Amino acid sequence: MDSARENAVLTMVPKGLFIGGEWRDSSSNTTFGVEDPATQQKLTEIADGTPVDAMAALDACERAQSDWAATPPRDRGEILRRTFELMNANADDLALLMTLEMGKPLAESKGEVTYAAEFLRWFAEEAVRIDGRWSVNPNGSGRLLTMKQPVGPCLLITPWNFPIAMGTRKIGPAIAAGCTMVVKPAQQTPLSMLMLAQLLHEAGLPDGVLNVVTSTKASAVTGPLFDDARLRKVSFTGSTPIGQKLMEQASKHLLRVSMELGGNAPYLVFGDADLEAAVDQALIAKMRNMGESCVAANRFHVHESVAEEFSSRLAERMGEMKVGRGTEDGVQVGPLIDDTQRGIVADLVEDAVGKGAKVLTGGERVGDRGYFYAPTVLSGIADDASLLREEIFGPVAPVKTFSSDDEAVAAANNSDYGLVAYVFTSDIKRAIRVTEGLEVGMVGLNRGLVSNPAAEFGGVKESGFGREGGREGIEEYLYTKYVAVDV
Ligand code: SIN
| Residue 442 near ligand 1, beta carbon < 6 Å | no
pLDDT in tens, 406-430: 999 999 999 999 999 999 999 999 9
| Residue 68 near ligand 1, beta carbon < 6 Å | no
| Residue 411 near ligand 1, beta carbon < 6 Å | no
| Residue 451 near ligand 1, beta carbon < 6 Å | yes
> Amino acid letter at 295?
V
pLDDT in tens, 6-17: 999 999 999 999
Q: Mutate which of 102, 112, 161 to test ligand 1's pocket (most atoms within 8 Å of Cβ)?
A: 161
Average pLDDT in the 219-244 region? 98
- CATH node for 265-452: 3.40.309.10
Q: Mutate which of 161, 162, 292, 449 to test ligand 1's pocket (most atoms within 8 Å of Cβ)?
A: 162
Nearest CA among 104, 116, 114 for reference residue 38: 104
| Residue 289 near ligand 1, beta carbon < 6 Å | no
Average pLDDT in the 344-364 region? 98
Q: How many Å apart are CA 411 and CA 431, to the nearest integer? A: 16
Active site residues: 260, 294
Residue 465 has pLDDT above 80, yes or no: yes
Q: What is the pLDDT of residue 1?
A: 64
Q: What is the pLDDT of residue 2?
A: 80
Please count the CA atoms within 13 angstroms of the CA of 389 that sit on its side-chain side: 8
Judge whether 394 and 291 are in contact, CB under 8 Å. yes
Expressed in angstroms and rounded, the spacing between residue 84 Cα and the centre of ligand 1 is 19
Q: How many Å apart are CA 145 and CA 381, to the nearest integer? A: 58
Look at ligand 1, atom 8, and give the residue with the nearest C-alpha: 451
Nearest CA among 210, 248, 265 for reference residue 389: 265
Expressed in angstroms and rounded, the spacing between residue 421 Cα and the centre of ligand 1 is 14
Q: How many Å apart are CA 399 and CA 307, to the nearest integer? A: 8
Considering the domain delimited by 3-261+463-484, tell me its CATH architecture.
3-Layer(aba) Sandwich (3.40)
pLDDT in tens, 181-221: 999 999 999 999 999 999 999 999 999 999 999 999 999 99
| Residue 293 near ligand 1, beta carbon < 6 Å | yes
Residue 222 has pLDDT above 80, yes or no: yes
Q: How many Å apart are CA 184 and CA 222, to the nearest integer? A: 8
Which band of pLDDT confidence, cut at 50, 70 and 90, is reported for residue 4?
very high
Which segments of 117-261 are extended strands (E)? 133-136, 142-150, 154-157, 181-184, 210-212, 233-237, 256-260
Q: Which residues contact 279 (CB under 8 A, 6 or more apart)?
A: 310, 313, 314, 317
Q: Count CB atoms within 10 A of the CB of residue 7.
A: 12
pTM over 0.95: yes
| Residue 298 near ligand 1, beta carbon < 6 Å | no
Expressed in angstroms and rounded, the spacing between residue 261 Cα and the centre of ligand 1 is 10
Helix (H) or strand (E) holding 9: helix 3-12
Which segments of 371-437 are extended strands (E)? 372-373, 376-379, 396-402, 417-418, 420-424
Look at ligand 1, atom 3, and give the residue with the nearest C-alpha: 294
Nearest ligand 1 atom to alpha carbon 165: 7
For residue 403, count CB atoms less than 10 angstroms from its CB and return exposed for 0-12, middle for 13-18, buried for 19 or more.
exposed
Nearest CA among 301, 329, 246 for reference residue 425: 301
Residue 143 has pLDDT above 80, yes or no: yes
Q: Count CB atoms within 10 A of the CB of residue 350.
A: 13
Residue 266 has pLDDT above 70, yes or no: yes
CA angle 477, 250, 30 (to 5 degrees): 95
Look at ligand 1, atom 5, and give the residue with the nearest C-alpha: 293
pLDDT in tens, 469-479: 999 999 999 99
Q: What is the pLDDT of residue 370?
A: 98
pLDDT in tens, 21-61: 999 999 999 999 999 999 999 999 999 999 999 999 999 99
Q: Domains of the chain: which residue ranges?
A: 3-261+463-484, 265-452
Q: How many Å apart are CA 194 and CA 364, to the nearest integer? A: 35
Pair type for strands 417-418 and 420-424: unpaired
Which band of pLDDT confidence, cut at 50, 70 and 90, is reported for residue 468?
very high
